Each structure stands twice: as structure tokens, then as C-alpha cells.
Structure 1
Amino acid sequence: MRRYLLLLMLSTVGMLAHAQQFMLSGRITGNKGEPVSFTSVYIRNSTYGTTANEQGQYQFKLSPGNYNIVYRFVGYREKVVPVTIADHDERLNVKLDEEIFSKEDTATYNRKTDRGMAIMQQVLSNRERHMNEFKTYTCQVYIKGVQRLTKAPKSLMSSPVIKQLDLDSAGRGILYQSESISQFNLQRPDKFKEITIASKNTGGSPAFSYNKASDLQLNIYQNIFYVEGLRSRGFVSPVADNAFQYYRYKLDGTTVSNNRTIHKIAVLPKSNRSSTFRGFLYIVDGDWRVYSADLYLTEENDNINLIDTLSISQQYIPVKDSVWLPASIQYDYKGSVLGFKFAGYYVGIYNNYKIDQEFPAGFFNGEVLKVDTAANSKPSGYWDATRPVPLTPQETRDYHKKDSLFAIQHSDPYLDSVQLENNKFSPLSYTIFGYEAKNRKTKESFYVAPLYLSFFYNTVEGWGIDERVKYTKKYDDLRQFSIEPVFHYGFSSKLVSPNVHAEYLFDPWKRGRIFTNFGAEVMDLNNVGTRSLWFNTLSSLLYENNYVKYYRNQYGNVGYERELANGILWTSSLEYSSRRQLYNTSYQHIFDSKVREYTSNNPLEPGAPADDKSFLFPEHQALTFKTSLEFTFGQRYITRPDGRTFVPSRYPKVVLNYRKGINGAFGSDVNYDFVSIDISQDHIPVGLTGYSSFKISAGDFLNRRNVYFMDYNHFLGNQGTTFDPTYVGSFHFLPFYEFSTNAAFLEAHYQHNFAGALFSRIPFMRKLKLEEIVGANYLTEKFNQNYSELYVGIQRLFFRVDYGISFRGDKKYIQGFRIFYGIR
């Protein structure tokens, strides 16, 4: 019995000793003692490792045992060091020798016969094999990002600014830090799911970020690289199947590392303006695969935004003899804005690959990222014990300071004082932005629309008041209730139009909501929308263009919306309305115009005088049922503790609509059935030439026994010099009401944004970073002439100018410029 107890105790002690881990750490330097930053460090014949920090310091935990540790960085000879981990931490400093590449085959360079071309021909011949070496994998990913201010104008470096940003006397300091640990799961060709276990960041939000594992999923064997946030167009991979159309290759040397012959290949674009990389590829001889990559893009040659230079480094390791995957991926960047110079990096470390895993049915359900509820609340001790890349002293100090500041800024006294300050009423702020008061404890808010939106003018109501307030209540489980009462009054028409809009979000994860609206409104006869109340005020008073035509509606409706399944959204509503025609009652001008006069409020009598009272429809009642099914194929979404965010789908969206005018019930006079289908996609990447958008809609009234003008199918037209291009289904020159129909129709819209692909080739245009746009719109109806538009335009940020021409039938209709500057 004692012998069995002794064996049990020894076994338990052995298991505990084996389970305990110890830290292996050290510093990696070159021959001159300089730190070799971001060196990959991993256990040979495994996929477990880390990366050194900027100062060459590395660390990771190992169980007791014997290991061969591989140290590898581009430009240095790979080094393998045997290490024994016993019962304590070990420190191992390593010196790397510069890689010496034999130049025997590189004495003379001939772009056609250089051996580098032959080597890359072998790589491209084996490209498909390397892309398809595995079907699935799962791994753990650690991502670290740091952005620094490296120089700032002295004229702007006041003491408060230096103190707030924690800068030194030269204007240098850390602006942003982030870390995340996640499990990444991938199934070829394009399914992935990431589960964030821990996340931490300090500092302001950067203009772009790559702090998710999916952000750094750049497979060099793909034809096109997309670098999100820096450009809408893609870049040709130096290992694309058509790479020889864009690149020349030069053998820059050959070396032998751990019994592998490695060729260093210089990547040389054939053109300076061809969306290509520069740098080096390191190729394994015989296997003809990428060993590592060291590539870069520049603002000058590649027209990237926000930064001047982006370097991309990848280190590949054998997961199995026939499968190589990235051990680390790193982005380094630098740039300048208004005299401020900044630099930063994102590094991703991939550990514990498991190849060809079987995932349960339904695992890839459209959720591409799930952030654990406790991911953002991990204590400092967790990160100290878990992070694979040690912090530098500056990073440690920055974390400590900003963590302390975060604790203060999230304390109840501080938050109460901030809330009190933010809730103070400011006349100037209210005039421009409105007024909002919040109670963080009860999660209630009260909002009043800006003062400048409270007054309006139109020819139907004259001068008027439109006051809107909104109350919102949020609950701990993300449910939400809001109610928005509106008081609307026209002084000339003497119409009082109070109404209320209310909504209850009862299932935030499935977009489940119920809503109701009731009261009275002066409404646009085009229910798709023409111009906002405020913009119509400017148009009427400044240019005597009373484009919008109104009617009176007293109504009440209720509606329901919810996802039936991922990507299938159902919406239904029932409305009862009492509607009557309105006429112009006011004819005021700011300027005494002798050229242009106001027009009738009857959209079918555009040439009639302003005081025209021609008949459009009788006063009537309408009971209307609406329902729609929206199909988003391949819908993807991100789940965070505070809600769900949808990611643009790579496939078109389809919407089926049905609208029924119910006759006889509660005195309803309408009697019709309308069906339509919409197919659209907002962003279709087209490789090196930008992206396209399109929308196609078709519909018909199956029954049109009694249809009034506001029940027609309307289109998003435009009249006037300004227009709104933010929606692909809009027209440039189509009249707001003239083409509204109660018959069959088909409309189609297509637009392509070249995203600088053309102008970037013109030296004096490159720095403007203008985007070139072309497009076409088309409409055909059963009882009307065909209508079409063609246009070209240029865009920068939110400013856009288009020139277009339109046709009614085969005759030219309107041509001219249209401008957008952010006002709708």
C-alpha cells in the first residue's frame, strides 16, 4: 500500500513539475551590439514562438525540457540554439550574424536571362500547390500595435499639449498602443471566425488600425492584396499568377540556412505607377516556396493615403513538411500631417497552428469576430503573464500612466462631473448641433434638434416652426426604447401638425423592433424623398425653386421588424391615413426675382402659376399594408459586448416588397396591389481599378383599381445644381414627380469609382488624390418614354463634382454639372 501511495505522490509531483512553466528571455543583437528588432523566435519543429520587441528583448514560457530555439530575421543568418529548461527561468542572449549571400550568379544583370526570373517562374508554377496545402486551420494570434509621434512643430508644443500627450522636449511620445489575443479559425477559400479573448488599448483612436487577426491575413500567394484604410484599389502580389506582367526579378544572392538553400530575389516593378510592391522575396530552392518577404509601398509611387511609407514583412515556418504558414506578419509605417511626423507598427504572432481541423456544422455562420464579454477587462497581471512580446520601458510607462488616468476618468466622481459639464446648455452649441442631456446611471438621454433646423419656409405653409425632441432609454441587456414627439406649424397655412414616433428595440441581436407613428404631417408627395425641409427652405428663398410638393396626412401606423435567420430581415407595417390635397399659400422672396417665379403645388402641372389650384386627388382614407423580405447573402457580422455590427457582404442584396391598399375597411378608398424587387451591391472590388456599385429595381401594380398619387412608385430624382450621390439608386437630372408611375417599371444604376487609378499616372494630379467616377442611370416605364443618364465625375473626401447628360427617348434632355458638398 505504501508503495502505491509513493508512486502516486511521485507521479503527481512529476505532473505538477511538467505543468509548471518558466520564462525564457533575453536580448537579440547584431555583430555590433545593435538590437535586432522584431526577430522571430520559435521552437524548432513546432509552431510555438514569439517576436522580439523594438529593443531586441524577447520572452516566452516553456515547460521543463530540452528545446532547439530558432532565431530568425530578414538579413541575418538563422540561428538555432539548444536550451534546457529545468526548474527556473532562463535568460539567453543571442548574437545574430549578418546573412552573407553568394553573388556568383549576380555579377551581371540581364532582365530577360537573370536567374531570378527562372526562380520566380518555378515559384509561380507551384503557386496553386502552396495555396491549397491545407483546407482549414486554427491558431492563436497575438497582435500588438504602437503609434508614436516622432516630431512636432515647436510652435504648437505648449506645456499643456506636451503634458497631455506625454511628449518629451523634442515632441516625441506614444500616441496609441493596442494588444489583443484571439483564436483564429480559417476554412478555405474565404471563411473565417475570430474569437477575441483579451483586448487592451490606450490613447486616441488612430486613423487606421489592424488590431484584428483578420486585418493581417495577407496571403502572399493571392493575386491581389488589399490594404484596408490606405487605398480603395488593390496591389498586385509579386507571386500573382500574372506577376510577370508587372514585375521583373533579380537574383540578389544565395545562401544556405539549416540545410536549405535560400535565394534572395529583388522585386522590381516594371512601372513606377502600376500598383506594385518593391523589396525582396526569399525563396526556398527545390520546394520553390516563399521563406520570407520584405516588401514596401510608398505614397509617391503607389498613391496611398494617410502615410508616406508602408513596409510589410512576413516570416513563414513549416507547420508540417508540406505546409508553411506565417509565424509573424508586421506592418511598419510612417507619415506626416501638417508638420507632425509619426511612425508606428502592427505585429501579429501566430502560435499553435492546428491543420485540417474539423469544425462543427454551422461554426462558420457569418460571425467573423466575437469579442468575449471579459476581453476588455483583463487586469495588468493577466497581460504581464500572457503577452509574448515584452514591453519597452517607454511602453510600460505609457501604459501605467494611461491606465491610472483611465481609472480616474472612469471613477464615479469624475464621470459625474463630466456629465454635469456636458449637460450644460450652450446657446451656440444648441444653434449648430442641438442640445443633448444624458444620465449615465439610468442610461437615459434627451435630445433637442439644432435651432437652425427649427425654422423653415415653403410655399405651402409659409414660414413655420418644426421642433423635435427625442427621449431614449437604454437597458443593460442592450434593449432600447425611444420616443420622438414633433411639433410642426405653418404660419401661412395655419396648419398644426403634431406627431409622435416611437420605437422599442426588443431583440438587438436579431434586429427585432416594434415601432409606431401617429399624428399629422405635411408630407412630400414623393415618398422616396426629394429634399430635406431645411434644404428646401434655402432652395425656395434663395432661388425661388419650390421643387418639393406637399400634401396633408393624418395617420397612425404600427410595424414590426426582425431577422428570421442570419441575412433574412422581415419588416411589416399597417397604416391608416386620411389624406388631402394642399395648395400654395405663400410667395415670399429674399431677392426681387423677375426671371423665375414659384410653381404650382400640383406636380403634374409644372407650368401652372403658383396660385394654381388644379385637381390632383380628392380627400380620401387609406388603409395600407406593407411587408418586405431583405436577403443579404453571405451576411457577416461582428459581435461585441455592446452589440452587433454588420460587415459589408461580398454578394448582392435582394429585397422583395409587397404593398396592399385595402379597400372598404374603416372607410378605406384605396384598392391596389404592388410588388417589386431590388437587387443591389454597394462595393464590388475590381482589383487595380477601384470598385463598382449597382442597383436594379423592377415592379408593377398587379391591381390598380384605385391608386392615388402618393401611392405611386416614386424615384429618387434630382432637380437643381446640388445632388446627393451617397446612394447608388439616385438620378442626376430626373424630375422628382414627373416619372412617378402606377404601372410596370424597370430602373438600373451602375457606377464605377476608379479610386485614382487614372489620375495617379499624371504627375501633377497625383498629389491631389482625386477619385475618378463614371456611371449610368436608366429608367423604362410602360406608359412613358425611356429615360437615361451618363455622367463622369471627380471626388475628394465628401466633395464631388459630376458632369452628365440625360436623354428622354432618343432626344437630349438636360446636361450640366452637379455638385455635392455634404449637404443633403
Structure 2
Amino acid sequence: MRPDYKIFIQSVFLLLISVVVGGSVLAQGIRGKVVSSEGELLPYASVYIRNLGDGVPTNQDGRYEYKLDPGVYDVLIQFLGYKSQLKAVEVGEQWVDLDFVLEPQVYTLSEVEVRAGQEDPALTIMRKAISKAKFHRLQLQQYSMTVYLKGTGQLTDAPFFLKKTLEKEGLKLNEAYTSESVSRITFTQPNKVEEKVISIRTNGDNQSTSPAPYIQTSFYQEKINDIISPLSRSAFTYYRFTYEGSFFDQDVLVNKIKVTPRSRGERVFEGYIYIIEDLWAIHSLNLKTSLLGFDIQATQQYAPVAENVWMPLTHTYRFGGKFFGFEGEFKYLASTREYEVTLNPDLAYVPEIIDEKVQEVTEDVADFKKRNLPWSNWPKSNPLLEKNIES
């Protein structure tokens, strides 16, 4: 063998070794599964690394994998209806197997019991949350997030007179639809949204069931995809609210509120919203609605991305039902991570919310209420005083 060829082969061999070794050095982090105390796998649970303010969801089999540099991390697991669990883990040069077993959430009733003729505590909680909604909506001047979206589904039925036409156009019944994409979304006040698609892979037709309107719109808005939000200023006109207990999570007290439409139909939600005490921000939600004959189930789990700022981390959406003879079911998982936030400098002060119906208004707050301040565009025109929203 010629010396120059021999040197070339040795160089290539050494290069391959360096690539393999280098890849193994970088391949470390945590991985495992999340199950309930009954052994049930928990799909789409939130795996949140508190040190980084970032996380990933588990897959449909309740498993996760997260690459990390060597170091010590606090790993928080969240799944709606179960107690959150926090573990500290040290990551070295190898993968660390880290499994979690979650216990069902235990709700405690407030000291203020609901007696005959006495107002439900949910009304005070929701009045304060609604009054604070605009603050939370404007709290961030700008934010960017990476959105991983995975969708699956299929069209299971169609009007008989259209089936042949659909087949000619290449659309077959019971043919699986799959989609997977990664994009970077930047929102800038008041309503500028920019999306940069990093990667996308799609097979089939989603029948216009995209969850984008729910991901890119906050539940602090008056409407989500033209559906009245439970935090809308007119929410008490459309909904009844019932207090169902509270629990502690990540050192905050969370209230579970049942949301019931006053008149069932389209354009309203039904289910549960979880509100953080004192901060009056969304902790999580599990709401359903219907739109054009399709039933829509939306679940969101929030996490703190800055001081007093909670943003959605894991979303799951289900679309199913019949529409003009078409029938199908579609499921989506969205993971929003790698948040970069810029706080609104005009909202550096966090206002205290007072409910006039159940709390005494002090003289200093009453005086503040009378001043002509530039907060006149707030709901009920006062950042410190929640006016009597009709219930």
C-alpha cells in the first residue's frame, strides 16, 4: 500500500473515531417514563426543567427524552388531575434514567364554605381573574417561542355522493393523516405575529382542524377563535362558575373552577379552569367546545417563564364529530418551549385586585380610584379596584 493512501485511510479512521466519541460525549441527559400510581402511562405530561425554564412533553406512551449538559437539574413533572412531582438529578457523561409515578391530585375546600344564600367563592376568584386578564395579556411586550406540533387523525366517513369524487382527488376514507412541524413564533404587542417554519412534514388532509388559533391566541383575550373566553369581561353573561377546591403546586395555591355555559351551544366553553391565588393567572385548563359540528377539547398546562409570568408549555387538542356528513377524529400535541420574553416596562408594578363585593375598600384605594390616571382603558377603568362585574 502506498504511504500516502495509508496516511489517508488512517486519517479517515481517526476522524470516524472522533465523530463517534464526540457524539457519545454530547449524548447525555435524562429519559424515562411517567405513570400514575395505578401504573397507567400518562401521555403528554409536562417535563419541565426549572433551572432552564424549558421542557418537553412525554409522548403518547408516556415516555420522554431530554438532552442536557452535565450538571444538576430540578425536574418538575405536571399532568392535569395529578400532583406535580419534583426531583433533583445530576447529569454526567451518560444518560440518566428517571421515571416518575404521580399520585391523583387531592383538592381541599376553602375555609369559606358555600352555604345557602352565600356567594360561591368561585365568583370572587373569577371576578379578580377577569379584572387581571388585561394585565396578563399586556404583561409581555414581546415573546418568542419554539413550537413543536404533532398531529394525527383520519376522515372516517363522508356523504355517499361525494366518496367517489374524494377518491379521484386522492383523498381516501380511513387514511391516516400525520403532521409534524417545528416553528419559531414571535409575538409583539399589540397583535403582530411572525412565524418562521424550521421543519415540516405532512401526509394527508387535516380537514381544517388546525389548532393554530388556540396556540397563537391567549385565553386572556375576549375570544379564542370567536369563542367567548371564561376570562372575557362578558364571561358572567355566558357562564356559571363553581368552586371545586384548591391545591398547592410549585409554592402557589391553585383554585379549581368549574365552567358551565348558561346556554349550551356553539361559541362557549365547558370544563375546568385553574386559577393561581393572588396572582390571578391561569395555571392550567381543560375546556371543550363545538364549532361547525366538530367537538373540540383543549388542554393547556402552564409554567413560570419569568417572575410572575406563567405561559403555556404543553397543549393537547382533539377534534371529532360530524359536519355535513363528514366524520373524523384528529389529535394534536403542541409543545411550546425556549421562551424568550421582554417584559412591558409600563407594567413593572403588579396591581393588587380588590373585590368590592366581599372586601373592604380602604380610603387610600378609594382616593386612588377617583384620580384621573392613564389606566382608563382597563376593564372597569381601574387597575387596583375590581368594580362590580355582574354575576
TM-score normalised according to structure 1 size: 0.36
What is aligned with 1:272? 264
The CA deviation at 1:262 is 0.8
Matched, 1:325 2:305: no
Instruction: Provide the secondary structure at the position in 2 that maps to 1:135.
Output: strand
Relative to structure 1, the CA distance from residue 124 to residue 345 in structure 2 (aligned partners, 3 Å threshold; closer, same or farther) is same
Matched, 1:140 2:146: yes
What is aligned with 1:620? none
Residues 461-480 of structure 1: per-residue CA shift (max 9 Å, x gap): xxxxxxxxxxxxxxxxxxxx
The answer to whether the 8 A contact 2:114-2:121 is kept is no
2:98, 2:115 → 1: CA distance? 42
What is aligned with 1:286? 278
2:116, 2:233 → 1: CA distance? 22
Higher RCO (C-alpha under 8 Å, 6+ residues apart): 2
The one-letter code sitting in structure 2 at the alignment partner of 1:331 is: Y
What is aligned with 1:260? 252
Instruction: Provide the secondary structure at the position in 2 that maps to 1:218.
Output: coil
Matched, 1:98 2:97: no
What is aligned with 1:194? 195
The CA deviation at 1:25 is 1.8
The one-letter code sitting in structure 2 at the alignment partner of 1:276 is: V
1:107, 1:215 → 2: CA distance? 35
The answer to whether the 8 A contact 2:145-2:184 is kept is yes
What is aligned with 2:219? 220
The one-letter code sitting in structure 1 at the alignment partner of 2:259 is: V
Relative to structure 1, the CA distance from residue 241 to residue 215 in structure 2 (aligned partners, 3 Å threshold; closer, same or farther) is closer
The CA deviation at 1:90 is 2.2
Matched, 1:206 2:198: no
1:146, 1:105 → 2: CA distance? 45
The CA deviation at 1:112 is 6.6
Instruction: Provide the secondary structure at the position in 2 that maps to 1:189.
Output: coil
Instruction: Provide the secondary structure at the position in 2 that maps to 1:127.
Output: helix
2:95, 2:54 → 1: CA distance? 18
Relative to structure 1, the CA distance from residue 196 to residue 115 in structure 2 (aligned partners, 3 Å threshold; closer, same or farther) is same
The CA deviation at 1:279 is 0.6
The answer to whether the 8 A contact 1:165-1:175 is kept is no
Alignment of 1:755-794 (within 5 A): none
The CA deviation at 1:150 is 7.4
Relative to structure 1, the CA distance from residue 127 to residue 339 in structure 2 (aligned partners, 3 Å threshold; closer, same or farther) is closer
The answer to whether the 8 A contact 1:246-1:274 is kept is no
Relative to structure 1, the CA distance from residue 19 to residue 174 in structure 2 (aligned partners, 3 Å threshold; closer, same or farther) is farther
The CA deviation at 1:125 is 2.0
Instruction: Provide the secondary structure at the position in 1 that maps to 2:43.
Output: coil
2:277, 2:316 → 1: CA distance? 24
The CA deviation at 1:139 is 1.7
Matched, 1:239 2:231: yes
- Identify the match of residue 26 of structure 1 among 32, 35, 54: 32
What is aligned with 2:70? 64
Instruction: Provide the secondary structure at the position in 2 that maps to 1:356.
Output: strand
Matched, 1:43 2:67: no
Residues 648-686 of structure 1: per-residue CA shift (max 9 Å, x gap): xxxxxxxxxxxxxxxxxxxxxxxxxxxxxxxxxxxxxxx
Relative to structure 1, the CA distance from residue 238 to residue 24 in structure 2 (aligned partners, 3 Å threshold; closer, same or farther) is same
- Identify the match of residue 240 of structure 2 among 239, 248, 251: 248
Instruction: Provide the secondary structure at the position in 2 that maps to 1:219.
Output: coil
Relative to structure 1, the CA distance from residue 112 to residue 71 in structure 2 (aligned partners, 3 Å threshold; closer, same or farther) is same
What is aligned with 1:726? none
Instruction: Provide the secondary structure at the position in 1 that maps to 2:129.
Output: helix
The answer to whether the 8 A contact 2:211-2:317 is kept is no
The answer to whether the 8 A contact 1:313-1:329 is kept is yes
Matched, 1:342 2:328: yes
Instruction: Provide the secondary structure at the position in 1 that maps to 2:330.
Output: strand
2:143, 2:252 → 1: CA distance? 26
Alignment of 1:579-658 (within 5 A): none
Residues 616-663 of structure 1: per-residue CA shift (max 9 Å, x gap): xxxxxxxxxxxxxxxxxxxxxxxxxxxxxxxxxxxxxxxxxxxxxxxx
1:274, 1:206 → 2: CA distance? 21
The answer to whether the 8 A contact 1:18-1:63 is kept is no
2:266, 2:327 → 1: CA distance? 27
Identity of aligned residues (%): 27
Residues 601-629 of structure 1: per-residue CA shift (max 9 Å, x gap): xxxxxxxxxxxxxxxxxxxxxxxxxxxxx
What is aligned with 2:176? 175
Instruction: Provide the secondary structure at the position in 2 that maps to 1:353.
Output: strand
The answer to whether the 8 A contact 2:154-2:328 is kept is yes
Matched, 1:310 2:302: no
The answer to whether the 8 A contact 1:138-1:357 is kept is no
Instruction: Provide the secondary structure at the position in 2 that maps to 1:54.
Output: coil
2:116, 2:63 → 1: CA distance? 42
Residues 367-398 of structure 1: per-residue CA shift (max 9 Å, x gap): xxxxxxxxxxxxxxxxxxxxxxxxxxxxxxxx
The CA deviation at 1:20 is 2.3
Alignment of 1:358-507 (within 5 A): none
The answer to whether the 8 A contact 2:73-2:88 is kept is yes
What is aligned with 1:732? none
Relative to structure 1, the CA distance from residue 86 to residue 32 in structure 2 (aligned partners, 3 Å threshold; closer, same or farther) is same
The answer to whether the 8 A contact 2:153-2:176 is kept is yes
Residues 525-573 of structure 1: per-residue CA shift (max 9 Å, x gap): xxxxxxxxxxxxxxxxxxxxxxxxxxxxxxxxxxxxxxxxxxxxxxxxx
2:154, 2:90 → 1: CA distance? 38
The answer to whether the 8 A contact 2:266-2:289 is kept is no
Relative to structure 1, the CA distance from residue 143 to residue 82 in structure 2 (aligned partners, 3 Å threshold; closer, same or farther) is same
Residues 4-35 of structure 1: per-residue CA shift (max 9 Å, x gap): xxxxxxxxxxxx89982424221111111111
2:69, 2:137 → 1: CA distance? 34
What is aligned with 1:74? 80
The answer to whether the 8 A contact 1:283-1:291 is kept is yes
Instruction: Provide the secondary structure at the position in 1 that maps to 2:60.
Output: coil
* Structure 2: runs of 5+ lacking an equivalent: 1-21, 159-166, 345-391
Relative to structure 1, the CA distance from residue 50 to residue 137 in structure 2 (aligned partners, 3 Å threshold; closer, same or farther) is same
The CA deviation at 1:218 is 2.4
The CA deviation at 1:126 is 1.4
1:330, 1:251 → 2: CA distance? 24
The answer to whether the 8 A contact 1:106-1:252 is kept is no
Residues 283-314 of structure 1: per-residue CA shift (max 9 Å, x gap): 1111111101110013xxxxx2252x211111
The answer to whether the 8 A contact 1:178-1:211 is kept is no
The answer to whether the 8 A contact 2:32-2:65 is kept is yes
The one-letter code sitting in structure 1 at the alignment partner of 2:279 is: D
* Structure 1: runs of 5+ lacking an equivalent: 1-15, 153-160, 227-233, 299-303, 359-824
Relative to structure 1, the CA distance from residue 205 to residue 120 in structure 2 (aligned partners, 3 Å threshold; closer, same or farther) is same
Instruction: Provide the secondary structure at the position in 1 that maps to 2:74.
Output: strand
1:272, 1:80 → 2: CA distance? 39
The one-letter code sitting in structure 2 at the alignment partner of 1:56 is: G
The CA deviation at 1:273 is 3.8
The answer to whether the 8 A contact 1:318-1:325 is kept is yes
The answer to whether the 8 A contact 2:51-2:73 is kept is no
Instruction: Provide the secondary structure at the position in 1 that maps to 2:134.
Output: helix
The CA deviation at 1:98 is 0.6
1:125, 1:244 → 2: CA distance? 12
What is aligned with 2:357? none
1:343, 1:126 → 2: CA distance? 36
What is aligned with 2:119? 113
What is aligned with 1:371? none
The answer to whether the 8 A contact 2:269-2:288 is kept is yes
1:150, 1:55 → 2: CA distance? 24
Count the aligned residue pairs: 313
The CA deviation at 1:110 is 6.1
The one-letter code sitting in structure 2 at the alignment partner of 1:177 is: T
TM-score normalised according to structure 2 size: 0.72
The answer to whether the 8 A contact 1:255-1:261 is kept is yes
